[in-house]
Structure 1
Amino acid sequence: MDVWTVILVVVAVIVGSLIAAWIVSSVVSQQMKSMQALLLSKSIEAESRVERKRKEVIAEKQKNPVKEETKAISEEDIVKRIKQVIDEKVQNVLNEAKKKKERLLMLLDVARGYALGFVSEDEYNAFLMKVLGELDEFKRLWLARYPSPEDRDRLNQIMAYVARTKLPIEVREKGKEGTTRLSPDEALIRMTSSINNAISILDDLIKKRGENPAITPLEIQLSQEVEKLRKKVEDLEKRLQELEAL
């Protein structure tokens, strides 16, 4: 190999090295630019998410006072409606008293059905428990309108009389141990007496508040006749006073 050949080989190696170095440098530079662009986009995206979250938090804080105000208004409306319902019930307590009298008369009909064999003990007792629950609710309603210790005692008496009709009805006989279970007919007599006593007390409470307790057609008719007689008596008394004045 002569000198010129060696020189050409060395030059070729140097040129090849330079070209390879340039290629590697270009690739690395391109990758660096790509990585920088990727990092920049990630940074911008992260900043966008943070800014969006911050705006959401601010918007939520701005909405909360409105929600709390709306909630407060809703609660106030609910309280007003509840008060309105209670006031209406309390004002109509005398009508409720008449409805409870109707229920007691219905209970008496069921008791008659038991005596005739159309109603079982369990059926009567189930209806009795329902009526007692209604009477307990009515007692609270009445006392809300007329908070009187005397009325409270009278209402408790009504419930006690009605509770006595629970079946079976047993009594103690003199000279015998234990109790004797009454027959349906005998039980009906006791049940009728207890229910009528409860109705009588309820009528007195209604009259005490200036209302006519009559609800059945016969009661209404008798009440009207009594009212007519009362007016006639008052007219006669006035005429007698006029005659005495002469």
Structure 2
Amino acid sequence: MFKRKLQALGFPNPDTLNTADENQFRSTIVWLEDQKIRRYKIEDRELLRNTTAIQWNLAFVQYMTDLDCPFPKGTRPEILDWLLGLAVQLEYNENPESYNANPKTQEPIHQKLNPLDNLDFESDSFKSGVNDLANILQVPRHPDHLMTLEGVCNLIQEKFSKDALKASSIARDLGNPVQFDNISFGLDLKSPNVSNAANLLRYLFIHDLRELQTRINECLVCVQALTANPKTDTKLGKVGY
């Protein structure tokens, strides 16, 4: 009874969904929230995503309340049918052309949907892939694998975008290496390891202060350039009474 709605939403394996299976039902609810409904922010979906927790039913009841479901205590098929209808409505509001187009000229729905929508974001293989990618990029893991994935995406955007790669290809003057043994930072610590760490932090602090002072000087130069040569409008001048 849900096959056509699931197909319209791009749900993976719509033919094998069994609402009598509690695990499949919960996973479907999580997929609808993550991919289509998006009632909660990502960080607020943790309780709903933890489908094996004892408190999941309480989180689900609260979710139905937040969605203003007309029968939050209905049967599983009734609730799922209402959620699928809501998801289809939201999908239609975002892209009505894909549903209103002439069927003879319209491309298949599965060709227009984002291929990522067909992924099972809660599967073990997906979680393993995210963790492997985080290990390669040396991104710390988060208990929520989707938060780890967000960190990976941020790193890729920051370090591997076109602008970042172009900037990294420009040769930079690395300067001269710092010999901490020949510099006194005024710290008398007995432990060599603690002393080296303290000297390094002190050096980084001084480096940041110098960079800040350089930017302040640049701002002063810009302000002086504006005030030292002001532009006047001689037409506004007045001679005599």
TM-score for the superposition, normalised by structure 2: 0.23
Q: Which has the larger radius of gyration?
A: 1
Structure with higher helix content: 1
TM-score for the superposition, normalised by structure 1: 0.23
